[in-house]
Structures are given as structure tokens and as C-alpha cells.
Amino acid sequence: MSKGEIVLGCLAPHPPHVVYAENPEQNEAFAEGGWETLRWGYHRLARKLKKIDYDAMVIFTPHWQTYIGTHFLGLPKFQSKSVDPVFPNLFRYNYDISVDVDLAEEMKNEASEAGIITKMMRNPDFRVDYGTITSCHMLNPEWDKPIVTISSNRNAHYYSAEVMNEQAGALGEACAKAIENSGKKVVLISSHSLSHRHFVTESPLPEDMSKEHIYNHSQYVWDMKLVELMREGKMKEVVDIIPEFTEQTIAETEAGGLTWMMAAMGFPDFSAEIYGYQSVIGTGNLIAAWDPNSETREIVL
């Protein structure tokens, strides 16, 4: 068996607004559009993924929050409806998801061996979180590849963003090892926004783009600093400043996704592909990808 590999890493924010604005048949709500900068960026990245040969998507989500270790989806099928607890007016999505349970178990075992507390989730009534669904829908609306969802352990709450960074990094390394041993080609997804201060009110028409802007300029400046470092291929530096970035912008990096993905990919020193940046209800959202193959790597934006 040949060695498995990570064929692409994606930073894929999951405001349910982008799925809402697409009006897929799975979602009950209806929108008149909105957030095109993000959606069109997603479309382009989805087209790139169509050209990549891969077996599964592995996604790290902030919306399956666990305090007792890191959990992995551990049943082959999940079919239900996901209703966003914060934006139920926008997101009521009927899903039918296949899971690569073998890969999930291999990652779980490798993480356990590395000393990380882990658990397989095998309750058939469990609802898959909307972060997973939004990011995966936007990257692969056909849902024709199995996924693995990894929960986010809330080390940042219990200890500090520094501890979170260490733990998420260790988890990333363990997952990379498991992927290598699996012989599979895997796309990693880190599902989150950058700066993450929300407006606490919503306009009557949520997709009214005349109302959409970043919460404040400081959030924007921080987000742009990260984008600049990503363009320069300085991912080690990005991960090193994540604790400060997280604190200053209440960033959704607090869950550990970006650190996990970058550690799994060996902290890329090549440029990220930038697909779009836009605010959603005040938060800063970036779509980016890291392509380890220098022949297919592009300057997108």
C-alpha cells in the first residue's frame, strides 16, 4: 500500500448565511442571495477540488464542542435535519452524510497513542453540527465523498489559547500520521471564521448587503495581517501568533482548527491560495487553501 497523503488543506468558514444564500434544495429557508464574495470564492475552490483525486474530507469543527477530549464521528451514516441554534431563520438543512469510519478510527487511535484524550461518537441519534455541514456543502455540494468530523476540545476555555495551540498541534500531527498509514488521499478542512465578533442584531432582511460590514476596524487589520502572512507562506508564524490574534479579535481560531490543519501539513512555507474575504454579521471570513503540489498551486486572488 502506498503512503496516504494530505492533498489539500482548506480554511472554510461556516456562517450558515452562505448556504442560505445559495438556496440549495436541502435548506428550508429562502434567500435573495447575498455574500457573493464568499460564495463565488467557494465555487472556485469547489471547482479546484473536482480536479483533485481524494478519498475523504476530514473536518475540524468549532460547533461540536467537547470538554472531555477530542471526539470523532464513528458511524457510517448520519441522516437528519440540522437547525442552526443561533440562526434558525436561515439554516434548516436536511442532510445525508457518509462517514469514513475506518479513517476516523485510525486518527482516533493515533491521537490516543500520542496521549490525547479521545472518544468515538457512536450514537445514531447524534446531530452533525452546522459547521461541518456548511463547510462541506460549500466545498462539495454533491456530497459524493465521505467525511470525518473531529470535535473541538475547548482547551482555550479551560486553560489558555497557548495550551489550545499546543494540543491542537499535537492532534494535527497524530492525524497526519494516521492519514499516512491509511494509504488514503485526504482533504483537510479547518472550518471557522477569523475575527469573530458578531453584531447582536440582525437586519430584517439578513441578506441585505447594504448592512454588512466588519464589526470594527481593528478586527479587519488583524485579519489582513493574517492574510498577508498566509500569502507569504509564513504559516509557522501565523500559528505562533494565533493566541494573541484569538484574544484580540475573539477569533474562531480559539477552537484550534487552523493550528490543527497547519501542524498536520507540516506548517507550509508556500503561499496560500486566497479565494475571498468578507464579513458576515460582523465577523471576518477568509476562504483559503494550501496546495502541497507546486504544479497545481495557483495565485487565485
Q: Which residues bind other proteins (CB under 8 A)?
A: 64-69, 71, 81, 83, 85-89, 92, 117, 119, 121-123, 125-127, 151, 153-154, 157-158, 198, 200-202, 216, 281
Round to whole Å and give the CA distance between 130 and 13.
Answer: 11
Amino acid at 24: P
Q: Which CB sits closer to other proteins, 16 or 41?
A: 16
Nearer to other proteins, 182 or 285 (CB): 285
Q: Determine the Cα angle at 61 with ends 57 and 67, to 5°.
A: 130
Strands 56-66 and 273-280: unpaired
Of residues 61 and 182, the one with the C-beta less far from other proteins: 61
Judged by beta carbon, residue 99 or residue 272, the one nearer other proteins is 99
Nearest to 118 by CA among 148, 140, 78: 148
Q: Closest approach of Cβ 192 to other proteins, in Å?
A: 15
Query: Min. distance of Cβ 73 from other proteins in angstroms?
Result: 10
Residue whose CB is less far from other proteins, 215 or 290: 215
Alpha helices in 51-129 (DSSP H): 101-113
Least Å distance, CB 172 to other proteins, is 19
Residues in contact with 15: Cβ distance below 8 Å, sequence separation at least 6, in sequence order? 35, 38, 134, 193, 280, 281, 283, 285
Cα 184 to Cα 253: distance, rounded to the nearest angstrom: 27
Q: How far is the CB of 67 from other proteins (least distance, A)?
A: 5
CB of 235 to other proteins, least distance (A): 28
Using N-to-C axis directions, what is the helix angle for 235-249 and 217-231, rounded to 10°? 170
